[in-house]
C-alpha cells in the first residue's frame, strides 16, 4: 500500500484514514478516529496534530526506533512495530550469510506496550519463516544481549526506551554471528531501514503473515545470565559488612539483580520500596534517568535512614548504573553525591586492568571507551601494559573494540564481562562495584577513598559537559566551520598541544564530525554536534595534581568553551 502524502492537513487526514484501516490497536484507533473527526470539523489543533503524526516517519537508525507512544507514522505503535518486524525479517532472510531459517530473540521491559510490541514481533518473525524466541518475562536489556550470544541467534530485538520519559518506547536491534551480539551499525541500519520502508509502502499490516508458532525461551537462559554475572566478582568475606541502598527506578533490574546477588554471595541492599516494582508510568520520578536532577532523591532519603555506605541505581532497563556516596559538601542532595560516569568508569577500569593482569590476559587485551569519556582510562591501560582504544560514542562501537576486556562511556554505561554480553550492562557492573566496595572495606577504606587512591596513582581527573542549544541548526555548522578554519591556539589560557579533526583522522582511529584539542597540561576539550538534539556539545576533561586542582581547571575550560562556542 502506498502511504498518502501527509505534507498538509488534507494529506494528513488521508494518511490517518489509511493508517486507521490497518491498525489492530483499539486504543490508538480510538485516538486517531477522534483526531480525524475533529480535524474534519475544522479543529486547527487537531489538524496540526495529525500533520505532526503523519508529516514524517519515525526514523530507524543505529539506535533502532525510539519515540512517543501514539497513533501515526511518527509515533511508536503496533503498526510501526509490525512494519519494523517485517522489514527486519526480510533483511535477515536476504543477508548473504543468512541461515536457512534465521533465528531472532525478542526481549521486553516494563514500559507501556513493551510486551505487546514484543509479542507482535514474535508472531511476525514466525510468520515470515524465522525461528522466533520470546524471552519468558520482562527482563533487563543486557539479558537480551546475552541471550543472542547464548542461543547463537542471528539477531535480537529489545523493546525498551531505556531511560526516556514515560510516554516513550523503542525498538533496539542486535546482530549475532560475526557481530557477536552487538548493536547494529552502518551499513546494516540503512539496509534494515530500507526494508522497513518497503514494507510500509507496499503492504498492509493487517495482511502481514503471522504465526503463533514462536518459542518461549526457557528459564535456563536467565539462569545462565545470572551465573555469568555472579562469576564476574564472587563476594569476598568482607562483603557481609556492606550496607547499601538500591533502586531500579521502577524498572526491571531488581528481580535479576537479586538472583545475581544470591548467586555471588553479596548481602541484599535496602530497597527503595516506592521504586522497587516495575511500573512503566514511573510515578515517583519526572524523568526515569538516574543522571537527572531529583531522580535519586528517594534513594538518598532511604540511604540516610539506613546509614548506608553507598547507593546503586539502575535505569529502567538496567543497562546503566549510577553510584552515589555520602558527601557533606552536597547539602542540596541531603549529603549525597552521585559519582560521574567517568569516576565510576575509571574505578571499574582500574579493577578490570588488575583482573586482566592477574588472569594473564594475552597480547591485545584492550580497555576501551568512547572519545568523549575520560582520558584517565588510557593512563590505566598503559600502566598495566594493556591496549587502549578510543571509539565513537555509543556501545555499538565500544563493544566492537578488538580484544576488549573492559569498556565504558561517560553516560553511566559499563561493559565488564564482554565474554558474555557485548553491550553496557548495569547488573554485572553493579556486581563489580560491590567487589570494589568490599575490597575497600576490608582495608578500612570507602569508595570515596578509592577515588583518592586512583588520583594518587594516575592523576586526578575531572570532567564536565557544556551544551549550547540553538534554534537555527546553521549556527552549529557555522561554529564547527569557524573552529576548523581558525583553530584556537589555547583554551582557558592553556596552550593547545595537538588539534585533531576527526572528520579526517590521521591515525586510523574513530571518524566523525568531532574536533578534539589536547592541551599542554594534559587536559582535553572535544567539540561535536549532538546527534539527537539541536545542540553543540563540548566535553571537557582536566587532569590535576589534586581533585581540587582538576576541578578548578575544568571551571576555567568551561568558561572558555562557552565564550568560544557562543
pLDDT in tens, 330-371: 767 789 999 999 999 999 999 999 999 988 877 899 999 998
Distance CA 160, CA 168 (A): 9
Q: DSSP character for 3?
A: P
Give residue for cell 538516574.
290
Give me the pLDDT at residue 512, please.
76
> How far is residue 408's CA from residue 353's CA, in Å, rounded to a whole number?
13
Q: Strand, helix or coil at 235?
A: coil
Asked whether the beta carbons of 173 and 157 are under 8 A apart, the reply is yes
Please tell me the predicted confidence (pLDDT) of residue 331.
Answer: 67
**Strand, coil or helix: 224:** helix
Distance in angstroms (rounded) separating the CA atoms of residues 517 and 462: 16
Q: What is the phi/psi pair of residue 547, to 5°?
A: -60, -40
Which three-class secondary structure state does DSSP give residue 364? coil
DSSP code per residue over 406-426: EEEETTTEEES-TTT-SS--H
Active site residue 162: yes
Tell which residue, 172, 152, 28, has the closest CA to residue 102.
152
CB-based contact 398:409 (threshold 8 Å): yes
Extract the C-alpha cell encoding 281: 508510568
pLDDT computed for residue 532 by the predictor: 63
* Gap between the terminal Cα atoms of the chain: 48
> What are the chain's domains?
57-217 (3.40.120.10), 219-458 (3.40.120.10), 459-565 (3.30.310.50)
Provide the 3-class DSSP secondary structure of residue 296.
Answer: coil
Phi, psi of 409 (to 5 degrees): -135, 155
The residue with cell 557492573 is: 429
Q: Which of 61, 31, 56, 60 is nearest to 46 (CA)?
A: 31
Grid coordinates given for 527: 567539540
Q: Yes or no: say if 272 and 304 are a contact pair by the CB < 8 Å rule.
A: no
How far is Cα 97 from Cα 94, in angstroms, rounded to an integer? 8
Apex CA 395: angle with CA 391 and CA 396, to 5°? 85
pLDDT of residue 565: 61
Options 162, 399, 463, 523, the catalytic residue: 162
Contact 294, 233 (CB under 8 A): no
How far is residue 118's CA from residue 370's CA, in Å, rounded to a whole number? 31
How far is 321 from 339, CA to CA, in rounded Å?
10
Which residues of the chain fall below pLDDT 50? 2, 4
What pLDDT, on the 0 to 100 scale, is given for residue 240? 95
Q: Please tell me the predicted confidence (pLDDT) of residue 2.
A: 45
Q: What is the pTM of this model?
A: 0.93
User: Nearest 5 degrees, angle CA 244-CA 249-CA 252?
Assistant: 100
Distance CA 187, CA 299 (A): 42
Amino acid at each position: 500500500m502506498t502511504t498518502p502524502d501527509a505534507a498538509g492537513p488534507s494529506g494528513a487526514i488521508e494518511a490517518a484514514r489509511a493508517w486507521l484501516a490497518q491498525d489492530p490497536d483499539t486504543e490508538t484507533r480510538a485516538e486517531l478516529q477522534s483526531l480525524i473527526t475533529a480535524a474534519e470539523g475544522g479543529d486547527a489543533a487537531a489538524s496540526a496534530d495529525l500533520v505532526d503524526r503523519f508529516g514524517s516517519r519515525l526514523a530507524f537508525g543505529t539506535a533502532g526506533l525510539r519515540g512517543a507512544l501514539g497513533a501515526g507514522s511518527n509515533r511508536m505503535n503496533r503498526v510501526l512495530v509490525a512494519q519494523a518486524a517485517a522489514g527486519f525479517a526480510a533483511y535477515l532472510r536476504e543477508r548473504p550469510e543468512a541461515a536457512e531459517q534465521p533465528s531472532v530473540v525478542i526481549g521486553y521491559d516494563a514500559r507501556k506496550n513493551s510486551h505487546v510490541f514484543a509479542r507482535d514481533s514474535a508472531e511476525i518473525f514466525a510468520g515470515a519463516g524465522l525461528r522466533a524466541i520470546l524471552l519468558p518475562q520482562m527482563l533487563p536489556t543486557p539479558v537480551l544481549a546475552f541471550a543472542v550470544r547464548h542461543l547463537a541467534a542471528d539477531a535480537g530485538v529489545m523493546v525498551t526506551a531505556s531511560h526516556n520519559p514515560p510516554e516513550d518506547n523503542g525498538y533496539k536491534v542486535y546482530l549475532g554471528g560475526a557481530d557477536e551480539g552487538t548493536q547494529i551499525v552502518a551499513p546494516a541500519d540503512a539496509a534494515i531501514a530500507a526494508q522497513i520502508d518497503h514494507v510500509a509502502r507496499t503492504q498492509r499490516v493487517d495482511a502481514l503473515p503471522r504465526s503463533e508458532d514462536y518459542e518461549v525461551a526457557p528459564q535456563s537462559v536467565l539462569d545462565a545470565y545470572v551465573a555469568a554475572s555472579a562469576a564476574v566478582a564472587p563476594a569476598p568475606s568482607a562483603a557481609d559488612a556492606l550496607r547499601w541502598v538500591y533502586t531500579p527506578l521502577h524498572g526491571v533490574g531488581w528481580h535479576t539483580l537479586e538472583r545475581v546477588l544470591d548467586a555471588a554471595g553479596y548481602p541484599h541492599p535496602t530497597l527503595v520500596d516506592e521504586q522497587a516494582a516495575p511500573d512503566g508510568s514511573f510515578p515517583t520520578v519526572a524523568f526515569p534517568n538516574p543522571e537527572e536532577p531529583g531522580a535519586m532523591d528517594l534513594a538518598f532519603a532511604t540511604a540516610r535512614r539506613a546509614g548506608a555506605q553507598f547507593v546503586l541505581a539502575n535505569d529502567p532497563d538496567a543497562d546503566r548504573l549510577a553510584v552515589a556516596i555520602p558527601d557533606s559538601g552536597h547539602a542540596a542532595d541531603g549529603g549525597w553525591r552521585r559519582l560521574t560516569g567517568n569516576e565510576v568508569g575509571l574505578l571499574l577500569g582500574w579493577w578490570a586492568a588488575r583482573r586482566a593482569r592477574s588472569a594473564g590476559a594475552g597480547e591485545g587485551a584492550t580497555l576501551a571507551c568512547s572519545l568523549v569519556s575520560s582520558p584517565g582510562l588510557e593512563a590505566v591501560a598503559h600502566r598495566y601494559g594493556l591496549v587502549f582504544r578510543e571509539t565513537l560514542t555509543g556501545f555499538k562501537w565500544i563493544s566492537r573494540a578488538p580484544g576488549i576486556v573492559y569498556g565504558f562511556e561517560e553516560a553511566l554505561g559499563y561493559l565488564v564481562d564482554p565474554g558474555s554480553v557485548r553491550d553496557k550492562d548495569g547488573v554485572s557492573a553493579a556486581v563489580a562495584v560491590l567487589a570494589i566496595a568490599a575490597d575497600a572495606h576490608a582495608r578500612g577504606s570507602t569508595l570515596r577513598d578509592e577515588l583518592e587512591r586512583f588520583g594518587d596513582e594516575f592523576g586526578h581527573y575531572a570532567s564536565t559537559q557544556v551544551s549550547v542549544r540553538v534554534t537555527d541548526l546553521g549556527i552549529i555548522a557555522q561554529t564547527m566551520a569557524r573552529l576548523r578554519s581558525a583553530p584556537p591556539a589555547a583554551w582557558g589560557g592553556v596552550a593547545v598541544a595537538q588539534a585533531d579533526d576527526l572528520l579526517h583522522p590521521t591515525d586510523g582511529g574513530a571518524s566523525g564530525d568531532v574536533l578534539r584539542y589536547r592541551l599542554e597540561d594534559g587536559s582535553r576539550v572535544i567539540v561535536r554536534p549532538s546527534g539527537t538534539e539541536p545542540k553543540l556539545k563540548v566535553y571537557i576533561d582536566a587532569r590535576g595534581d589534586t581533585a581540587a586542582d582538576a576541578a578548578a581547571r575544568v571551571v576555567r575550560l568551561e568558561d572558555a568553551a562557552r565564550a568560544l562556542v557562543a
